Structure 1
Amino acid sequence: MEFLENVEILENKAVGGDNFLMRVKSENVPNKKSTPVAGQFYMLKLKNEIMILRRPISLHSVNSQTGEIEFLYKVLGEGTKELASYAKGDVINIQGPLGNGFELIKKSSKIVIVGGGIGLAPLKQLLKELLKNKENKKIVFIAGGRDKKTLEMLDSFDFSDKRISLKVCSDDGSLGEKANVIELLKKEISIDEKIDIIYSCGPHKVLELISELSNENNLTSQVSMEERMACGVGACVGCSIPSEEGMKKVCKNGPVFYSKIFGKKSENVKNGGKLNGK
């Protein structure tokens, strides 16, 4: 269910590169007026009235007991630049949770999660939710970014569970392997182990290649799409993308979709936008 809520900012800090982590306090979450899940997003209202459109930001993490919600975003334009200027104690209005999140597998021998750059944003909550089920035996988490500085955002994740196998890569080799997430995913697929599902989020081209790999190898795969949004509730159709099943609204039908709807080679995946910042 969707709600408008004024929330207090508890923290808003730089976490490497142009990335910021904002933590706010919601009363609706502990009161169970809203129950956000991994893959959903919120529309954040800026205090600058000149910027009338809300900014869509993925749910990074939520604590259902305390009501603390985290947003991980990248400063890319005037809207997210404005967000980055907010300080502890400021109050902003949020709308959400919105959209359809990841469909969680409940029993698996191996799960692969792939995140590229700011596409790592919704994967912290996804990892938390998957780990709650003890019948998920192994999770391979592939994380990639431009360099070590950019990947400092991983410090907010908890990889302590022994079921997690963390594999990190960077474009310049300053952290983990000098490679990209697609190369690491290809290696993982080539291993003689059954992969029950692949979850991913990242730049358009990365999701296109992941969809292609998944479809070619007959692997179940869910991708969290990015697209420019105006309303966030499916009214303006501005975030519509083509698929094998016709036009889909990223905000209403997604942002999470099964890769299979984009066809064998995923030619119909439209160029993504700025769910995590613009």
Structure 2
Amino acid sequence: MQTIPTQRPDVVGRLRAAGCVFAEDEAALLVAAAATAEELESLVRRRVSGLPLEHVLGWAEFCGLRIEVDPAVFVPRRRTEYLVRLAARLLQARGAAGTPVVVDLCCGSGAVGAALSATAGPLELHAADVDPAAAACARRNLQPLGAAVHEGDLYGPLPERLRGRVDILAVNAPYVPSGMIGTMPPEARLHEPRVALDGGPDGLELQRRVAAAAPEWLAPGGHLLIETSRRQAPQTVGILAGNGLSGRVFSSRKLDATVVLGSVLAGPAAGTPR
């Protein structure tokens, strides 16, 4: 059994040759994750073969947390941290108005719910995903936080008692048009489930379904936050408006992130993030 040198230039070189842009950073993570030289070799081989780094390591960094990510489960993107930031501001603006009810819909690994629990807790947190592998992964990330994870299609598996009580509905539904899936990086299109990527012909199919039922589930003064693209944002606002929700677009150039906020207003100027 061989020990691992602190520096492995050969690992950096192999990763760089395989097209890894941040080869030095990835090499450091792989070396840290391996207990032996044999284990390191296995990790490097998997990464060089094209497996996402997060699937090789078994975790992804998100909002400063380590989120467990299983193979074939959607890897949380850094841009989605912007959605968390906006949702946290809305929760903090509530003040001492009781424990808020938060739903992480299309939750994948549960990264959004976990980050909100860490930054804006305590919460009554629920998460749901149609993919059994994602729901199983989310349970490991969220159940230690006291959250409930439900497996099923959108609102279908949520407890009826949540209807009309949800303060924050955080949604990272797939929004890539079906015809564009083939243009995505191989790490995504080959190793992440299509159900987590494909938003239908125009990318907005899931958004329409989310928005149609959102008013039934949101509490008075509640908010729907839905990640979308800059190009699709005007259409997303229109979808929300067609379902009785006011819509505002928020964006972060730094994170290349776009979120549409849909609100059920209770009285004048319900708190919106600045």
TM-score (norm 1): 0.44
Ranked by relative contact order (alpha carbons within 8 Å, sequence separation 6 or more), the top structure is 1
Q: Which has the higher helix share?
A: 2
Larger radius of gyration: 2
Q: Which has the higher strand share?
A: 1
TM-score (norm 2): 0.44
